[in-house]
Amino acid sequence: MMHHAQKNLKHALVPTCRVFFDEFLKSDFIVQENGMTVLGTPTCARCDRLFGVGEVKEVETRGNIARIKLTDPTASLTIYTNKVIHVEGVKANAEEKKTFLAFLGNVHLREGAGKRNIILAEEVGTVEARVRNGWILTTAWRTMERIELLRTTISSKKEENVFFSDKVILKEALEHYALDNDKLDALASTVINAVKNMWQHYHTTTKEMIVETIKKVEKSGIEREKLVQALKNKGLKEAWVEEVIEELIVEGQCYEMDNGVLKLSI
Protein backbone atom coordinates (compact mmCIF):
# COMPACT_ATOMS: atom_id res chain seq x y z
CA MET A 1 0.00 0.00 0.00
CA MET A 2 2.81 2.38 0.92
CA HIS A 3 4.74 1.97 -2.32
CA HIS A 4 1.52 2.09 -4.32
CA ALA A 5 0.55 5.38 -2.67
CA GLN A 6 3.94 6.95 -3.29
CA LYS A 7 3.89 5.87 -6.93
CA ASN A 8 0.42 7.32 -7.46
CA LEU A 9 1.44 10.62 -5.88
CA LYS A 10 4.48 11.18 -8.08
CA HIS A 11 2.68 13.69 -10.24
CA ALA A 12 2.33 15.84 -7.10
CA LEU A 13 5.83 16.99 -8.04
CA VAL A 14 4.32 19.12 -10.79
CA PRO A 15 3.40 22.67 -9.65
CA THR A 16 0.72 22.33 -6.99
CA CYS A 17 0.06 24.25 -3.81
CA ARG A 18 2.34 23.25 -0.95
CA VAL A 19 1.54 25.22 2.17
CA PHE A 20 1.38 24.31 5.83
CA PHE A 21 -2.11 23.58 7.15
CA ASP A 22 -2.20 26.72 9.30
CA GLU A 23 -1.63 28.94 6.27
CA PHE A 24 -4.26 27.13 4.23
CA LEU A 25 -6.84 27.54 7.01
CA LYS A 26 -6.14 31.29 7.13
CA SER A 27 -6.55 31.70 3.35
CA ASP A 28 -9.61 33.64 2.16
CA PHE A 29 -8.35 35.69 -0.80
CA ILE A 30 -10.37 34.66 -3.87
CA VAL A 31 -8.70 35.23 -7.24
CA GLN A 32 -10.44 35.24 -10.64
CA GLU A 33 -8.04 33.80 -13.20
CA ASN A 34 -8.82 32.88 -16.80
CA GLY A 35 -12.45 32.30 -15.97
CA MET A 36 -11.54 30.17 -12.94
CA THR A 37 -11.79 30.93 -9.24
CA VAL A 38 -8.70 30.05 -7.21
CA LEU A 39 -7.47 30.67 -3.67
CA GLY A 40 -4.55 32.95 -2.81
CA THR A 41 -2.82 32.25 0.52
CA PRO A 42 -1.20 34.76 2.95
CA THR A 43 2.23 34.06 1.42
CA CYS A 44 0.74 34.40 -2.06
CA ALA A 45 0.64 30.78 -3.16
CA ARG A 46 -1.90 29.93 -5.86
CA CYS A 47 -3.99 27.18 -4.31
CA ASP A 48 -6.55 25.34 -6.42
CA ARG A 49 -4.94 21.92 -5.89
CA LEU A 50 -3.25 21.06 -2.60
CA PHE A 51 -0.59 18.43 -1.94
CA GLY A 52 -0.03 17.64 1.72
CA VAL A 53 1.17 15.02 4.18
CA GLY A 54 -0.05 14.73 7.75
CA GLU A 55 -0.42 12.46 10.73
CA VAL A 56 -3.81 10.73 10.84
CA LYS A 57 -5.82 11.61 13.93
CA GLU A 58 -9.38 10.62 13.03
CA VAL A 59 -11.13 8.71 10.27
CA GLU A 60 -14.90 8.74 9.92
CA THR A 61 -16.69 7.00 7.04
CA ARG A 62 -20.21 7.82 5.99
CA GLY A 63 -21.41 5.95 2.96
CA ASN A 64 -18.78 6.30 0.23
CA ILE A 65 -17.15 9.38 1.76
CA ALA A 66 -14.33 9.30 4.33
CA ARG A 67 -13.69 12.30 6.55
CA ILE A 68 -10.04 12.34 7.67
CA LYS A 69 -8.48 14.64 10.25
CA LEU A 70 -4.75 15.20 9.71
CA THR A 71 -2.14 17.25 11.54
CA ASP A 72 1.12 18.82 10.44
CA PRO A 73 3.46 20.78 12.76
CA THR A 74 1.23 23.88 12.47
CA ALA A 75 -2.44 22.85 12.62
CA SER A 76 -5.15 20.23 12.07
CA LEU A 77 -6.84 19.91 8.70
CA THR A 78 -9.86 17.90 7.59
CA ILE A 79 -10.02 16.38 4.11
CA TYR A 80 -12.69 14.33 2.38
CA THR A 81 -12.27 11.50 -0.11
CA ASN A 82 -14.33 8.89 -1.89
CA LYS A 83 -11.28 6.70 -2.38
CA VAL A 84 -10.89 3.44 -0.48
CA ILE A 85 -8.19 3.79 2.17
CA HIS A 86 -6.79 1.43 4.77
CA VAL A 87 -5.56 3.28 7.84
CA GLU A 88 -4.52 1.37 10.93
CA GLY A 89 -3.36 2.48 14.33
CA VAL A 90 -5.57 5.56 14.84
CA LYS A 91 -6.19 5.23 18.55
CA ALA A 92 -5.93 7.37 21.65
CA ASN A 93 -3.12 5.21 23.01
CA ALA A 94 0.02 7.37 22.92
CA GLU A 95 2.14 4.29 22.25
CA GLU A 96 0.24 3.45 19.06
CA LYS A 97 2.37 3.69 15.94
CA LYS A 98 1.77 6.91 14.04
CA THR A 99 0.19 6.74 10.61
CA PHE A 100 0.99 9.33 7.93
CA LEU A 101 -1.20 10.04 4.93
CA ALA A 102 -0.29 11.86 1.72
CA PHE A 103 -3.05 13.43 -0.34
CA LEU A 104 -3.57 15.38 -3.54
CA GLY A 105 -6.88 17.18 -3.63
CA ASN A 106 -8.94 19.88 -5.23
CA VAL A 107 -9.79 22.94 -3.17
CA HIS A 108 -13.52 23.74 -3.22
CA LEU A 109 -13.99 27.37 -2.28
CA ARG A 110 -16.76 28.51 0.05
CA GLU A 111 -17.10 32.26 0.12
CA GLY A 112 -18.56 34.07 3.10
CA ALA A 113 -17.64 34.85 6.69
CA GLY A 114 -16.92 31.82 8.84
CA LYS A 115 -17.05 29.34 5.95
CA ARG A 116 -14.07 27.05 5.46
CA ASN A 117 -12.80 25.82 2.14
CA ILE A 118 -13.16 22.08 1.53
CA ILE A 119 -10.51 19.70 0.23
CA LEU A 120 -11.73 16.73 -1.78
CA ALA A 121 -8.77 14.40 -2.12
CA GLU A 122 -8.60 12.54 -5.41
CA GLU A 123 -5.50 10.59 -4.39
CA VAL A 124 -4.66 9.39 -0.88
CA GLY A 125 -2.27 6.83 0.56
CA THR A 126 -0.28 5.97 3.64
CA VAL A 127 3.42 6.90 3.54
CA GLU A 128 6.52 6.54 5.71
CA ALA A 129 7.66 9.15 8.20
CA ARG A 130 10.55 10.12 5.89
CA VAL A 131 8.00 11.18 3.23
CA ARG A 132 6.25 13.37 5.80
CA ASN A 133 9.61 14.88 6.83
CA GLY A 134 10.48 15.56 3.21
CA TRP A 135 7.15 17.33 2.71
CA ILE A 136 7.78 19.53 5.75
CA LEU A 137 11.22 20.57 4.50
CA THR A 138 10.04 21.24 0.93
CA THR A 139 7.00 23.17 2.12
CA ALA A 140 9.14 25.23 4.50
CA TRP A 141 11.61 26.08 1.73
CA ARG A 142 8.89 27.14 -0.71
CA THR A 143 7.08 29.19 1.93
CA MET A 144 10.24 31.03 2.99
CA GLU A 145 11.01 31.74 -0.66
CA ARG A 146 7.61 33.39 -1.10
CA ILE A 147 8.05 35.36 2.13
CA GLU A 148 11.38 36.77 0.95
CA LEU A 149 9.80 37.81 -2.36
CA LEU A 150 7.08 39.59 -0.39
CA ARG A 151 9.69 41.39 1.73
CA THR A 152 11.42 42.58 -1.43
CA THR A 153 8.17 43.85 -2.87
CA ILE A 154 7.22 45.70 0.32
CA SER A 155 10.63 47.32 0.63
CA SER A 156 10.57 48.45 -3.03
CA LYS A 157 7.04 49.85 -2.58
CA LYS A 158 5.90 48.72 -6.01
CA GLU A 159 2.39 49.82 -6.84
CA GLU A 160 1.76 47.96 -10.10
CA ASN A 161 0.35 44.45 -10.29
CA VAL A 162 3.25 42.04 -10.02
CA PHE A 163 2.80 38.33 -10.68
CA PHE A 164 4.50 35.43 -8.97
CA SER A 165 5.37 32.39 -11.06
CA ASP A 166 2.20 30.83 -9.63
CA LYS A 167 0.18 33.80 -10.95
CA VAL A 168 -1.28 35.17 -7.75
CA ILE A 169 -1.69 38.93 -8.07
CA LEU A 170 0.76 40.23 -5.50
CA LYS A 171 -0.50 43.77 -5.06
CA GLU A 172 -4.07 42.65 -4.36
CA ALA A 173 -2.90 39.92 -1.97
CA LEU A 174 -0.77 42.41 -0.04
CA GLU A 175 -3.78 44.63 0.41
CA HIS A 176 -6.19 41.81 1.24
CA TYR A 177 -4.01 40.34 3.99
CA ALA A 178 -2.63 43.77 5.01
CA LEU A 179 0.85 42.28 4.85
CA ASP A 180 3.78 44.11 6.40
CA ASN A 181 7.14 43.03 7.79
CA ASP A 182 5.67 42.18 11.21
CA LYS A 183 3.12 39.83 9.67
CA LEU A 184 5.79 38.30 7.46
CA ASP A 185 7.93 37.73 10.57
CA ALA A 186 5.01 35.85 12.16
CA LEU A 187 4.54 33.72 9.04
CA ALA A 188 8.28 32.96 8.94
CA SER A 189 8.24 32.04 12.64
CA THR A 190 5.54 29.42 11.99
CA VAL A 191 7.70 27.88 9.27
CA ILE A 192 10.83 27.85 11.46
CA ASN A 193 8.97 26.22 14.35
CA ALA A 194 7.54 23.57 12.02
CA VAL A 195 11.01 22.51 10.93
CA LYS A 196 12.43 22.82 14.44
CA ASN A 197 9.73 20.53 15.88
CA MET A 198 10.48 17.92 13.22
CA TRP A 199 14.21 17.92 13.90
CA GLN A 200 13.71 17.83 17.68
CA HIS A 201 11.51 14.75 17.31
CA TYR A 202 13.97 13.16 14.88
CA HIS A 203 16.87 13.89 17.24
CA THR A 204 15.09 12.42 20.28
CA THR A 205 14.03 9.32 18.35
CA THR A 206 17.59 8.74 17.10
CA LYS A 207 18.95 8.97 20.65
CA GLU A 208 16.40 6.46 21.88
CA MET A 209 17.23 4.05 19.03
CA ILE A 210 20.98 4.25 19.75
CA VAL A 211 20.54 3.64 23.48
CA GLU A 212 18.10 0.78 22.87
CA THR A 213 20.48 -0.88 20.39
CA ILE A 214 23.38 -0.72 22.87
CA LYS A 215 21.12 -2.06 25.65
CA LYS A 216 20.31 -5.16 23.62
CA VAL A 217 23.96 -6.28 23.62
CA GLU A 218 24.20 -5.64 27.39
CA LYS A 219 27.73 -5.80 28.86
CA SER A 220 29.54 -6.82 25.68
CA GLY A 221 28.83 -3.51 23.97
CA ILE A 222 28.66 -2.97 20.23
CA GLU A 223 31.22 -1.86 17.70
CA ARG A 224 30.60 1.70 16.55
CA GLU A 225 30.69 0.64 12.91
CA LYS A 226 28.05 -2.05 13.47
CA LEU A 227 25.83 0.37 15.40
CA VAL A 228 25.99 2.97 12.64
CA GLN A 229 25.24 0.33 10.00
CA ALA A 230 22.28 -1.01 11.99
CA LEU A 231 20.72 2.44 12.16
CA LYS A 232 21.52 3.16 8.50
CA ASN A 233 19.52 0.02 7.68
CA LYS A 234 16.59 1.66 9.48
CA GLY A 235 16.80 4.71 7.23
CA LEU A 236 18.96 7.09 9.30
CA LYS A 237 21.80 9.06 7.72
CA GLU A 238 25.33 8.03 8.77
CA ALA A 239 26.48 11.59 9.50
CA TRP A 240 23.42 12.19 11.69
CA VAL A 241 23.96 8.94 13.65
CA GLU A 242 27.64 9.79 14.21
CA GLU A 243 26.70 13.24 15.49
CA VAL A 244 24.16 11.88 17.98
CA ILE A 245 26.62 9.21 19.19
CA GLU A 246 29.17 11.93 19.95
CA GLU A 247 26.50 13.89 21.79
CA LEU A 248 25.63 10.86 23.95
CA ILE A 249 29.32 10.40 24.78
CA VAL A 250 29.70 14.07 25.77
CA GLU A 251 26.56 13.81 27.92
CA GLY A 252 28.03 10.75 29.64
CA GLN A 253 25.23 8.39 28.64
CA CYS A 254 27.67 6.07 26.88
CA TYR A 255 31.40 5.73 26.29
CA GLU A 256 33.69 4.36 23.59
CA MET A 257 36.49 1.92 24.39
CA ASP A 258 39.87 1.94 22.66
CA ASN A 259 38.78 -0.87 20.34
CA GLY A 260 35.81 1.17 19.09
CA VAL A 261 33.17 -0.66 21.14
CA LEU A 262 30.37 1.47 22.57
CA LYS A 263 28.87 0.74 25.99
CA LEU A 264 26.29 2.45 28.15
CA SER A 265 27.60 4.24 31.21
CA ILE A 266 26.61 2.62 34.49
**DSSP string computed for 120-173:** EEEEEEEE-HHHHHHHHHHHHHHHHHHHHHHHHHHHHT--S--B-TT--BHHHH
> Does one domain contain both 128 and 247?
no
Q: Is 174 left (phi over 0), alpha (psi -120 to 50) or beta?
A: alpha
Closest CA to 126 of 95, 108, 102: 102
Q: Which of 155, 179, 203 is the last residue of a domain?
A: 179
Q: Domain total for the chain?
A: 2
Which pLDDT does position 155 carry in this prediction? 81
Which pLDDT does position 149 carry in this prediction? 86
Which pLDDT does position 159 carry in this prediction? 46
The set of residues, in sequence order, having a beta carbon less than 8 Å from that of 179 and lying 6+ positions away, is: 42, 150, 154, 173
> Does one domain contain both 157 and 85?
yes
> Does one domain contain both 74 and 156?
yes
Which pLDDT does position 162 carry in this prediction? 46
> Does one domain contain both 133 and 18?
yes
The answer to the question of residue 170 being in a domain is: yes
> Does one domain contain both 149 and 255?
no
Alpha helices (H) along the chain: 2-8, 21-25, 129-156, 170-176, 181-216, 224-232, 238-251
Q: Domain limits at 234?
A: 214-264
> Does one domain contain both 122 and 228?
no
Q: Which of 179, 205, 223 is the last residue of a domain?
A: 179
Task: Name the amino acid, one letter, at 190.
Answer: T
Are 179 and 148 a contacting pair, CB within 8 Å?
A: no
> Does one domain contain both 122 and 246?
no
Closest CA to 81 of 57, 62, 109: 62
The CATH number of the domain where 142 resides is what?
A: 2.40.50.140
DSSP 253: S
> Does one domain contain both 230 and 134?
no
The answer to the question of residue 192 being in a domain is: no
- Strand 36-40, strand 46-47: pairing: antiparallel
The answer to the question of residue 141 being in a domain is: yes
The answer to the question of residue 194 being in a domain is: no
The answer to the question of residue 117 being in a domain is: yes
> Does one domain contain both 221 and 167?
no
The answer to the question of residue 17 being in a domain is: yes
Provide the 3-class DSSP secondary structure of residue 70: strand
The answer to the question of residue 204 being in a domain is: no
The answer to the question of residue 200 being in a domain is: no
> Does one domain contain both 129 and 29?
yes
**pLDDT 10s digits, 147-164:** 988 888 888 765 444 444
> Does one domain contain both 127 and 175?
yes
Question: What's the rounded Cα separation, in Å, for the pair 132 and 194?
Answer: 12
Which pLDDT does position 112 carry in this prediction? 63
Which residues of the chain fall below pLDDT 70?
Answer: 1-15, 33, 86-96, 111-115, 157-169, 235, 266
> Does one domain contain both 225 and 127?
no
